[in-house]
C-alpha cells in the first residue's frame, strides 16, 4: 500500500526532498509517499511521508525520521527490543525523537526547531537511555503525530538485507504477531507493515513456496503482456524476504518490444556474415534505437570515479608536443625570428609568431560503449552480483571517467529478438551530458532476450564513425561473450561478431571487448572476439589495473590498420594513375 502514488507531481515533489533527507541523516536516503492519513516512517533507506500534509508538515515529519537515523535511534540492537511492543515503541519515540532532534540541532531547518521539547530531550542522552526511560514507569506524553511511527519490522528487514551474513528470515517471523494481538489493538499504526506484506505475498513471502509463487506469478504476468517467457525467464529476481524495501530488481517489460516483421522496413539495416555459405546476407538485420526509460532509484550509481579508472585512462595520448611559430611560448623559434628580422630589414611587416611552445597534445578520442543486456547477463556472476550489475557499474565508471577526461563518449545498450528486432538503447549519446538522468537510464535497463552481437557492433561502429567526430575511435563491447539469437546459433554468431569487429578495425576503429564477472570460458571468448583486444575481468576492482594496456593496444592496432589501409589506398591510386 505504501507505494500507492496519487499523482506524478506529488511524487516528484517528494523525490526532490531526497537531498534534504540525505543531508539530515548523513547517509543516502530517499523520500516516497504513503497512503494519506498514515503516520510517517522509515526503513533506513527511504522515508515514507504522507503527501497530503502541507509543506511544513512534510518537512517536520521528514526531519524527525532523518534525525532518528542520524542519531542512531533506529539501530537494530535498540529497536530489536521494541519488536511487537507498539506501546513501548511509542514511548520510546516520544523521548528519543526529541533527543535525536537536539542531537541534530546544528542542521535542523528553522521550522523544525520549534518541535523540540527540551524537557523531554533532557531525560535522555543516548538511544539506550531513551529506551530505559520508555521502559520505566514514568509518565510520558504521546509523541506529536508529526513524529510518525517506528516500524520495527521494516527496519529490521531492511537492515537484514543490507547484511547478507544474517538470513532475512530470522527477522521476519511468519505470522507470530497474532500472538500479541492484545497489544496490537492498543495501536493500529504500530505494525501496519504486516498487513502490507500479507497482501504482497500470500504465503508469507519468505518461504520456499512463497518464492515459487512469486516467480510463477511474475512469469504469468509477462505472458499476459505478450513477452516471450523463454527469453525473459532468467532475468527475474524473486522478492524473497524483501519486505518493506525499496530496491527490488524485477522486469516488467517485454524483451522484444518491436518484434514485428512489418517493422523491418523502419530502422537501420545491416548485413550479416553467413559463415556456412561464406558470404554476406545483405540488409539482414534491422536495428531500432529505442529511447531508454529512466528509473528514479539512483543512489547506487554516483558520479564519482568509483573504480579509479581515470588515472589509467588519462595516460592515453596526453604527451607534450613542441609547436613552432607561436605568438607566445617558452623559447624563441630561431627560424621564425630570422625570417621576421629579414622581413623587417626588407621593409615589410614581420610575423610576430616567433616562439616555440610545448603544449599538451589534445585528446582526440571518441569512445562508444556497447552494453550487452541480453537475458544471459542477468545470471549471477562470481561475486554474488549479477553480470549485468557488474557490467553496468563498469559502463558507468567508464562513461564518467572518459567524460571527465574530455573524451567524446557514448553508451548504448543492446539486446535482440530475432534479426528484425535488434534493439539499441541510447543511454548516453555523444552529445548528451553526463548527469543523473543518464545514471537513471542506466539503472532502468532490464536485461532480457538475446544478443545478436554482430549487428549491434556494426551499428555501434557506424554511430561512432558518424557522430564520434574524432580521428581516433574506440568501440568497447561489454558482454558476457554469449552471442546467441534466433537463427544465430553459437558458431554462426561467433563468426559474425568476429567479422563485424574486423570490419570496424579495418576502418580504423579500435575494438575492445570486456567480459566482467562472467564465467564464460576463454576459448569461447576467443571464438567470438577473435583477434580484437579482449579480456575477461574477474572483478570490477581489478579493472583499473588492466584497462590502460588494453585501451592502448586496441587503439594502437587500429592505428596500424589505418596506416596500412591509407598506404594501400595511396598505392592503389598511384597504380591507377
Partner 1 sequence: MPDQERRPYYVPVGDEEHVFKAAFRQGLSVMLKGPTGCGKTRFVEAMAYDLERPLITVACHDDLTTADLVGRFLLRGGETEWVDGPLTRAVREGAICYLDEVVEARQDTTVVLHPLADHRRQLPIDRLGITLDAAPGFCLVVSYNPGYQSVLKDLKDSTRQRMIAIEFGFPPTDVEEKIVACEAAIDHDKAAQLVRFGHAIRRLETAGLREVASTRVLIAAGRLTAEGLSPRVAARVAVVGPLTDDSIVTRGLVEMIDAYLSDQVT
Using the rule CB under 8 A, which residue among 140, 405, 422, 536 binds partner 1? 405
Min dist. Cβ of residue 548 to partner 1 (A): 12
* Count, residues near partner 1 per rule CB under 8 A: 47
Using the rule CB under 8 A, which residue among 3, 16, 266, 572 binds partner 1? 16
351 part of the interface to partner 1, by CB under 8 A: no
3-state secondary structure of 461: helix
327 part of the interface to partner 1, by CB under 8 A: no
Min dist. Cβ of residue 164 to partner 1 (A): 22
Radius of gyration of the chain (CA): 30
Using the rule CB under 8 A, which residue among 23, 132, 502, 546 binds partner 1? 23
Min dist. Cβ of residue 337 to partner 1 (A): 6
Q: Specify the residue for cell string 562508444.
A: 368
Using the rule CB under 8 A, which residue among 122, 212, 359, 560 binds partner 1? 359
Contact 380, 288 (CB under 8 A): no
Q: Which residues pair with 484 in a beta bridge?
A: 451
338 part of the interface to partner 1, by CB under 8 A: no
Using the rule CB under 8 A, which residue among 185, 293, 341, 506 binds partner 1? 341
CA–CA separation, 143 vs 95, rounded Å?
8
First-to-final CA distance of the chain: 79
Min dist. Cβ of residue 49 to partner 1 (A): 13
- Which is nearest to 410 in space by CA: 446, 372, 458, 463? 463
Stretch that binds partner 1, among 201-209, 217-225, 433-441, 529-537 (CB under 8 A): 433-441
Identity of the residue, 18 or 508, whose beta carbon is nearer to partner 1 in the bound complex = 18
Identity of the residue, 209 or 344, whose beta carbon is nearer to partner 1 in the bound complex = 344
247 part of the interface to partner 1, by CB under 8 A: no
Min dist. Cβ of residue 533 to partner 1 (A): 22
Min dist. Cβ of residue 306 to partner 1 (A): 11
Sorted by sequence, the CB contacts under 8 Å of residue 414 that are 6+ apart come out as 370, 371, 372, 373, 374, 422, 423, 424, 425, 451, 456, 459, 460
17 part of the interface to partner 1, by CB under 8 A: yes
Using the rule CB under 8 A, which residue among 34, 59, 518, 547 binds partner 1? 59
Question: CA dist 336 to 17, 97, 321, 332, 340, Å?
Answer: 62, 77, 18, 8, 6
373 part of the interface to partner 1, by CB under 8 A: no
The cell numbers describing 157, all together, are 528487514
Identity of the residue, 188 or 343, whose beta carbon is nearer to partner 1 in the bound complex = 343
Question: Other CB atoms closer than 10 Å to residue 406's CB: what's the count?
Answer: 12
136 part of the interface to partner 1, by CB under 8 A: no
Stretch that binds partner 1, among 137-145, 196-204, 314-322, 380-388 (CB under 8 A): 314-322
Stretch that binds partner 1, among 79-87, 108-116, 200-208, 567-575 (CB under 8 A): 108-116
Site string for partner 1, 255-284 (x = CB under 8 A): ------------------------------
CA–CA separation, 247 vs 549, rounded Å?
36
111 part of the interface to partner 1, by CB under 8 A: yes
Q: What are phi and psi of 320, to 5 degrees?
A: -95, 145
Contacts 24+ apart (CB under 8 A), 101-105: 101/63, 101/64, 101/67, 103/67, 103/70, 103/71, 104/24, 104/63, 104/66, 104/67, 104/70, 104/71
Min dist. Cβ of residue 308 to partner 1 (A): 8
Q: Which residues pair with 214 in a beta bridge?
A: none
3-state secondary structure of 452: coil
Using the rule CB under 8 A, which residue among 79, 133, 134, 354 binds partner 1? 354
132 part of the interface to partner 1, by CB under 8 A: no
Using the rule CB under 8 A, which residue among 303, 462, 502, 546 binds partner 1? 303
Stretch that binds partner 1, among 142-150, 181-189, 196-204, 338-346 (CB under 8 A): 338-346
61 part of the interface to partner 1, by CB under 8 A: no
Using the rule CB under 8 A, which residue among 11, 57, 81, 109 binds partner 1? 109
Question: CA dist 351 to 132, 331, 342, 532, Å?
Answer: 86, 16, 11, 49
Identity of the residue, 357 or 485, whose beta carbon is nearer to partner 1 in the bound complex = 357
Burial of 175 (0-12, 13-18, 19+ CB in 10 A): exposed
444: left (phi over 0), alpha (psi -120 to 50) or beta: alpha
CA–CA separation, 524 vs 490, rounded Å?
9
**Which stretches of the chain bind partner 1, using CB under 8 A?**
16-20, 22-24, 26, 28, 55, 59, 106-111, 299, 302-305, 310-311, 314-315, 320, 329-332, 337, 340-341, 344, 354, 357-360, 404-405, 433, 435-437
Amino acid at each position: 500500500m505504501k507505494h500507492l502514488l496519487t499523482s506524478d507531481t506529488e511524487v516528484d515533489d517528494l523525490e526532490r526532498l531526497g537531498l534534504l533527507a540525505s543531508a539530515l541523516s548523513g547517509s543516502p536516503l530517499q523520500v516516497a509517499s504513503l497512503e494519506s492519513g498514515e503516520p510517517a516512517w522509515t526503513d533506513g533507506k527511504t522515508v515514507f511521508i504522507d503527501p497530503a500534509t502541507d509543506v511544513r508538515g512534510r518537512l517536520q515529519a521528514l526531519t524527525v525520521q532523518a534525525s532518528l537515523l542520524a542519531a542512531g535511534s533506529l539501530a537494530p540492537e535498540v529497536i530489536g527490543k521494541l519488536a511487537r511492543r507498539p506501546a513501548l515503541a511509542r514511548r520510546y519515540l516520544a523521548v528519543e525523537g526529541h533527543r535525536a532532534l537536539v542531537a541534530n540541532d546544528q542542521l535542523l531547518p528553522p521550522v523544525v526547531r520549534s518541535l523540540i521539547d527540551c524537557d523531554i530531550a533532557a531525560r535522555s542522552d543516548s538511544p539506550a537511555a531513551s529506551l530505559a526511560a520508555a521502559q520505566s514507569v514514568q509518565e510520558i506524553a504521546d509523541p506529536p503525530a508529526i513524529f510518525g511511527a517506528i516500524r520495527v519490522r521494516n527496519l529490521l528487514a531492511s537492515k537484514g538485507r543490507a547484511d547478507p551474513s544474517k538470513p532475512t528470515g530470522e527477522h521476519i517471523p511468519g505470522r507470530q504477531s497474532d500472538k500479541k494481538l492484545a497489544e496490537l489493538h492498543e495501536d493500529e499504526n504500530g505494525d501496519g507493515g504486516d498487513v502490507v506484506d500479507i497482501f504482497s505475498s500470500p504465503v508469507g513471502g519468505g518461504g520456499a513456496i512463497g518464492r515459487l509463487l512469486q516467480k510463477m506469478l511474475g512469469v504469468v504476468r509477462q505472458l499476459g503482456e505478450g513477452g516471450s517467457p523463454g527469453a525473459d525467464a532468467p532475468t527475474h529476481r524473486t522478492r524473497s524476504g524483501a519486505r518493506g524495501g525499496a530496491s527490488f530488481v524485477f522486469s516488467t517489460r517485454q524483451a522484444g518490444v518491436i518484434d514485428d516483421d512489418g517493422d523491418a522496413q523502419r530502422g537501420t539495416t545491416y548485413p550479416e556474415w553467413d559463415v556456412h555459405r561464406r558470404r554476406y546476407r545483405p540488409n539482414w538485420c534491422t536495428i531500432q534505437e529505442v529511447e531508454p526509460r529512466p528509473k528514479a532509484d539512483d543512489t547506487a550509481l554516483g558520479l564519482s570515479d568509483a573504480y579509479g579508472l581515470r588515472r589509467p585512462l588519462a595516460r592515453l595520448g596526453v604527451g607534450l608536443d613542441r609547436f613552432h611559430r607561436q605568438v607566445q611560448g617558452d623559447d624563441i623559434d630561431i627560424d621564425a625570428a630570422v625570417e621576421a628580422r629579414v622581413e623587417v630589414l626588407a621593409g615589410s611587416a614581420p610575423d610576430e609568431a616567433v616562439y616555440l611552445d610545448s603544449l599538451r597534445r589534445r585528446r582526440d578520442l571518441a569512445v562508444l560503449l556497447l552494453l550487452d543486456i541480453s537475458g544471459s547477463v542477468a545470471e549471477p556472476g562470481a561475486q554474488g552480483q549479477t553480470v549485468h550489475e557488474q557490467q553496468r557499474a563498469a559502463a558507468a565508471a567508464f562513461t564518467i571517467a572518459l567524460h571527465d577526461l574530455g573524451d567524446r563518449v557514448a553508451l548504448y545498450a543492446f539486446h535482440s529478438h530475432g534479426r528484425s528486432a535488434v534493439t539499441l538503447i541510447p543511454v548516453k549519446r555523444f552529445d548528451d551530458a553526463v548527469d543523473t538522468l543518464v545514471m537513471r537510464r542506466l539503472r532502468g535497463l532490464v536485461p532480457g532476450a538475446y544478443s545478436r552481437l554482430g549487428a549491434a557492433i556494426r551499428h555501434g561502429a557506424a554511430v561512432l564513425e558518424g557522430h564520434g567526430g574524432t580521428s581516433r575511435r574506440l568501440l568497447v563491447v561489454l558482454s558476457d561473450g554469449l552471442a546467441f539469437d534466433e537463427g544465430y546459433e553459437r558458431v554462426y554468431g561467433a563468426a559474425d561478431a568476429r567479422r563485424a569487429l574486423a570490419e570496424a578495425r579495418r576502418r580504423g576503429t579500435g575494438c575492445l571487448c570486456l567480459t566482467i564477472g562472467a564465467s564464460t570460458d576463454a576459448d569461447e571468448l576467443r571464438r567470438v572476439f577473435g583477434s580484437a583486444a579482449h579480456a575477461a575481468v574477474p572483478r570490477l576492482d581489478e579493472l583499473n589495473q588492466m584497462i590502460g594496456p588494453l585501451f592502448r593496444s586496441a587503439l594502437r592496432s587500429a592505428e596500424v590498420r589505418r596506416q596500412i589501409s591509407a598506404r594501400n589506398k595511396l598505392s592503389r591510386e598511384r597504380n591507377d594513375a
